[in-house]
Amino acid sequence: MTKRAGIIGGGIGGLATAIMLQRAGWTVRVFEKAPSLVGTGTALGMWPASLRALDALGLGEDVRQRGARQHHGNFLRPDGSRIARLDVGAMARRSGDSVYLISRPALLGLLAGALAPATVSFDSPVTDLAAYRTGFDVMVAADGVFSRTRTAIFGPGSAARYVGATAWRGTVDGATDAVNETWGRGQRFGITPREDGRTNWYATALTPPGGRSPEGESGALRARFGDWHAGVQQVLSRLRPAEILRHDLYQLTPPLPSYLDGNVVLIGDAAHAMTPDLGRGAGEALVDAVTLGRCLTGAASIAAGLAEYDNLRRRPTQRLARLSHRVGRVAQARRFTPLRDAAVRLALSFGPPA
């Protein structure tokens, strides 16, 4: 008898899970509330663990061929002097792979292209979880930071919480090979390449939640970062106001006691929403999806497979979320920045995580 899976959310984790289960012979339906795949978004870092997950999906080489390979990285001060260098080569020698940068729309397109036709139902929000539980052997909640499924299961206390910072993101014309993150007092500005020959940028600052800039976001960014080094100024000079995204940053705290409730399982941001300070959120959703697929197809029963997934993924992802938050607090320190810079330089002398 064919097993049936319903997946709530057609983002990275949801589509990846659908690929894994379809390849194992499951009947899969993905319910996505948006009218189409996300068409905007900046570059995502695919670390070695993410690439191994993509290999399991049959898409690893596509991402390596299409993505922009990261050869190095620098942490800088606002005047352009270096705090520390990220030795990506050492990580590649240790793990056997590098880091590749690919935009969210490009990655979603690859994932969607690996699915059977009509797998994803757009304009299809899931508002009544109970009505779907009985129609599927497994319901996978991949509905993001503000997961309704998580709230329905664990209550309003499980809602993601604002971390005190907002983020701006976008792209500008012109290629770059720079991978730099500049740290000031309470704010940062990052620059990376992406696969289409444009430059990806992002910025963060400590702000009250829900803020918007009366002078426009491009004006606010120039006011905050306009006197920083030439690399930042070049990006600011090419901003297109309509392409600037601004989102407050949230994390899931306290962590969930389980990623399971009966035949419902949470993955990605729905399970372990984390700040973007390690650049691992999208990649961990891929690892969740592949792990879940392997557990469901390799265990003696669905219940056993779900329990194995929870055992394998809950503690590692929650540790990573805590680490990401700590890194963000250090990076956006307002005081004692010389001590911060020295500590980061010492930590990176041991090499980046794989």
The full DSSP string for 9-51 is --SHHHHHHHHHHHHTT-EEEEE-SSSSS-----EEEE-HHHH
With respect to residue 205, please indicate whether it lies within any of the assigned structural domains: no
- The string of pLDDT tens digits covering residues 170-228 is 999 999 988 899 999 999 999 999 888 899 999 999 999 998 888 899 999 999 999 99
List the CATH number of the domain containing 293.
Answer: 3.50.50.60
Contact 171, 243 (CB under 8 A): yes
The pTM of the full predicted model, rounded to 2 decimals, is 0.94
- The string of pLDDT tens digits covering residues 320-346 is 999 999 988 888 888 888 888 888 777
With respect to residue 170, please indicate whether it lies within any of the assigned structural domains: no
Segment 8-13 shows an average pLDDT of 98
With respect to residue 43, please indicate whether it lies within any of the assigned structural domains: yes
The token pair that represents 219 in the structure block: 């004006």
Question: What is the total count of domains within the chain?
Answer: 1
Q: SS3 for 164?
A: strand
- The string of pLDDT tens digits covering residues 24-77 is 999 999 999 999 998 888 899 999 999 999 999 999 999 999 999 887 789 999
Contact 278, 5 (CB under 8 A): no
Q: Which pLDDT does position 351 carry in this prediction?
A: 56
Sign of CA dihedral 205, 88, 324, 84: negative
Q: Which pLDDT does position 66 carry in this prediction?
A: 95
With respect to residue 265, please indicate whether it lies within any of the assigned structural domains: yes
With respect to residue 286, please indicate whether it lies within any of the assigned structural domains: yes
With respect to residue 57, please indicate whether it lies within any of the assigned structural domains: yes
Segment 119-132 shows an average pLDDT of 93
Measure CA of the first residue to CA of the last residue in the chain; give whole Å.
40
**Long-range CB contact pairs, 120-125, < 8 A, 24+:** 120/10, 120/15, 120/18, 120/30, 120/32, 121/29, 121/30, 121/31, 121/32, 122/10, 122/32, 122/34, 122/35, 122/36, 123/32, 123/33, 123/34, 123/35, 124/31, 124/32, 124/33, 125/31, 125/33
With respect to residue 200, please indicate whether it lies within any of the assigned structural domains: no
With respect to residue 229, please indicate whether it lies within any of the assigned structural domains: no
Q: Which residues, in sequence order, are bridge partners of residue 161?
A: 251
Q: How far apart are CA 317 and CA 309, in angstroms?
A: 12
Q: Could you list the residue range(s) of the whole structural domain that residue 23 is in?
A: 4-70+104-160+253-331
Q: Is the pLDDT of residue 145 over 60?
A: yes
